[in-house]
Structure 1
Amino acid sequence: MSSVTNSAYTETTDYDYENNYTNHSPESPVPTPESPALCTDVVCVLLATLNVIIMVLGLTGNGLVIWIAGFKIKKTVNTVWYLSLAVSDFLFCVFLPLHIVYTVKNEWVFELFMCKFASFIMILNMFSSIFLLVIISVDRCVVVMFPVWAQNKRSIRRALVIVLLAWIMSALLSLPAAIFRDLEHYDSKQVCYYNYTLNEEHVAVVVCKFIFGFVIPLLIIMFCYFMIIRKLKSNHMARSNKPFRVMTALIVAFFISWLPYHIFNLLETDLKYESVIPTGQRFGIALASTNSCMNPFLYAFMGKDFERKCYALLSKIESTFEEEARSTLRGTSITTSGDGKLSTTV
């Protein structure tokens, strides 16, 4: 029997090894006595293949965005937002091979530090991504509602400070993912798992991630959208809606990707759902991981001419950032029409 069976082994379910229950990590599967030495079942192969595809697309796509937004085009406030978002996704994809190896071998073959750090990076990606999307939404709302103030006060330096604060807050909220992570030898294999001493700790971590990583950001973004749409409809101000569609696509993609993860994490705190949690949470994590490779393609393919120009990924990403810059400049410049209304672009 494990030497720590008094702890709350809460991965996919709040069980301990004494009861011979399957014990999974929200980020990676954990071997069970019935598990084969290597990945052979359909679900395991599917998840491993999906993660490899996510890693390749994520590193390639986000690498292009970092190169374009960071080195190839003129820096603007908007490129700072999207560059930071790409860095977050790229960082996650860099460490994705650790989870792929874990999935294939059914064993954590790395050290305790990497067990903690890999989990920390995933949750850091979740918080930093949603915080950056909130920042983008609020920034767009400010440009529409207060164009004069935005033109005078929006600067790259302020944007960098805001991004730094977002990353610091994300890191602080991601610390429990590292603090409660531990290694244990079970059935002659090494397991990377969440070792909560009390079930209350587990509930607190799950609720904190759901509230700060989903609910509050969703409410802020919905409010920003309401204000933007109300302003646009009242003044008939939109000349180009591509930047607005890009922002919408990024946000919708994030919430669709991460919603199952939060649902199964919340179900994990209630043992009566034990039958659906293991498989559901594994696919929930896989779906959440896809968000790290989708953003570059959303930048490129949100144009009306997607069918004709889908092959021009590099130039489309660059044109998206350039249009963001042009639309913001137009949005912060006031033009007086015949009826005295302001003309702003989103």
Structure 2
Amino acid sequence: MDTSVDTTSTINYEYLISDLCDPTGVNDFSRQVLPPLYYMIFIVSVVGNGVVLFIMYKFEKLSTVTNIFLINLVVSNVVFTFTLPFQAVYHSDEWIFGEALCKLVNSAYYLGFYSSILFLTLMTFDRYLAVVHCVVSSKRRRGCYAVLLSAIVWCISLVASLELFIHFTVEEDQISGLTCKDSSEGRWKVFGLYKQFVFFFIFPLAVFVYCYARIIVRVISTRIVGKHRTVRLVFVIVLMFFACWSPYNIILLINENKDKKDCDDSLDYALRITSNIARLYFCINPIFFTFLGKKFQNHVRRLLEDKVSCLKQYNSYSGSSRSLA
């Protein structure tokens, strides 16, 4: 009898240890830093992606394989971006939008996240085909090919994000008030974590490394001058993606496997910081498209010259001066 009492006391003590962790510091950090950061990312991302779409509509042929993938990538970024104002309001106080929007906002967040990863992977593989297998791929890389693959990407992303729609729910917390959180436990929680890590991080990384290794070898061996700029642009975009998302995935795995009785909140701070570094990618992405691509630079220049007449005269004068020199 005495032994059973001691065991119960131990169990209660362990429960209290895990329950004594004070999230006040992390919550205060989130309340002060995250809402203005989310609003900034939202504005920059909407403007940046809007500029990319407008320039493509005005100057580009939208039915090419590359542009179909690019349009879908921008759309996936926008889907993700429009969840940020909800997150900003949530982190400034509590979740006030109800159960339905809790599920929709978080599933849309991951729908944009997953589809963006897959479209980047698809664009990388498409560049690999265009450079390494240019003769064969020129016959097969048609608009219908791009539309079909884009539809498959959206279907996979929708199915992957459906789990979040099912498990996210609104709960009452004594400290934080109404929270919108993932209620999955046990195997579902582990499955969701490793699904994201393996299929949306490791797999794209493997495709990325293989394709660009082959592309670099091909470009160096054949000295293809015209392909360098396109290859460099996509390479930088994909590299930035993994630079932004790698720390978050690593911290997520460490946090999931830590001792639940450990009240050290450094991992909580790291999760919030790395997840927001990852979110920054979605506003950096269109900036790279616009300012690193030579073709996009020319389109922006033409657009500005059409709107500002003195700029056109200045560019003409600069061009004639360079030619005389």
1:74 is aligned, of 54, 58, 61, to: 61
Distance across 1 between alignment mates of 2:172 and 2:71: 41
Distance across 2 between alignment mates of 1:104 and 1:126: 23
Provide the TM-score with structure 2 as the length reference: 0.79
Q: Secondary structure at the match of 2:82?
A: helix
2:19 matched to which residue of 1? 19
Query: Deviation string for 1:243-266 (max 9, x for gaps)?
Result: 111101110111111112211211
Q: What does 1:13-52 correspond to in 2, within 5 Å?
A: 19-21=19-21, 34=24, 41=28, 44-52=31-39
Q: Does 1:294 align with 2:281?
A: no
Q: Does 1:202 align with 2:189?
A: yes
Distance across 1 between alignment mates of 2:251 and 2:303: 34
Distance across 1 between alignment mates of 2:211 and 2:303: 25
2:271 matched to which residue of 1? 281
Structure 2 contact 21–263 (Cα < 8 Å) conserved: no
Give 1:46's aligned amino acid: V
Which structure's CA Rg is the greater one?
2
Shift of residue 302 of structure 1? 1.6
2:226 matched to which residue of 1? 239
Q: Secondary structure at the match of 1:74?
A: coil
2:80 matched to which residue of 1? 92
Query: Deviation string for 1:250-287 (max 9, x for gaps)?
Result: 10111111112211211222233752221111112211
Distance across 1 between alignment mates of 2:17 and 2:159: 31
Shift of residue 35 of structure 1? 7.4
Structure 1 contact 80–159 (Cα < 8 Å) conserved: yes
1:150 matched to which residue of 2? 137
Q: 1:53 to 1:78 in 2, by over 3 A?
A: same
Structure 2 contact 118–204 (Cα < 8 Å) conserved: yes
Moved more, 107-116 or 65-74: 65-74
Q: Secondary structure at the match of 1:284?
A: helix
2:178 matched to which residue of 1? 190
- The number of equivalent residue pairs is 285
Flag the structure with higher helix content: 2
Q: 1:55 to 1:298 in 2, by over 3 A?
A: same
Distance across 1 between alignment mates of 2:171 and 2:299: 45
Q: Secondary structure at the match of 1:190?
A: strand
Q: 1:191 to 1:298 in 2, by over 3 A?
A: same
Gap runs ≥5 in structure 2: 1-14, 305-325
Moved more, 295-304 or 216-225: 295-304
Shift of residue 74 of structure 1? 1.2
Structure 2 contact 103–168 (Cα < 8 Å) conserved: yes
Moved more, 227-236 or 67-76: 67-76
Distance across 2 between alignment mates of 1:183 and 1:68: 41
Query: Deviation string for 1:21-76 (max 9, x for gaps)?
Result: 45xxxxxxxxx5x479xx8x455322222211100000111112223334652121
Q: Secondary structure at the match of 2:225?
A: coil
Query: Deviation string for 1:145-185 (max 9, x for gaps)?
Result: 22222222111121011111011111111222222211111
Distance across 2 between alignment mates of 1:175 and 1:246: 33
Give 1:53's aligned amino acid: M
Distance across 2 between alignment mates of 1:240 and 1:148: 15
Distance across 2 between alignment mates of 1:317 and 1:179: 45
2:322 matched to which residue of 1? none
Q: 1:17 to 1:160 in 2, by over 3 A?
A: farther
Q: Does 1:59 align with 2:46?
A: yes
Provide the TM-score with structure 1 as the length reference: 0.75
Structure 2 contact 30–92 (Cα < 8 Å) conserved: no
Q: 1:115 to 1:93 in 2, by over 3 A?
A: same
Provide the identity percentage.
25
Q: 1:175 to 1:236 in 2, by over 3 A?
A: same
Distance across 1 between alignment mates of 2:78 and 2:255: 29
Q: Secondary structure at the match of 1:213?
A: helix
Q: 1:47 to 1:207 in 2, by over 3 A?
A: same
Q: What is the RMSD of the two structures over their aligned residues, measured on CA atoms?
A: 2.9
Structure 1 contact 63–90 (Cα < 8 Å) conserved: no
Q: 1:317 to 1:229 in 2, by over 3 A?
A: farther
2:117 is aligned, of 130, 134, 138, to: 130
Give 1:136's aligned amino acid: M
Give 1:281's aligned amino acid: L
Q: Secondary structure at the match of 2:183?
A: strand
Q: Does 1:181 align with 2:181?
A: no
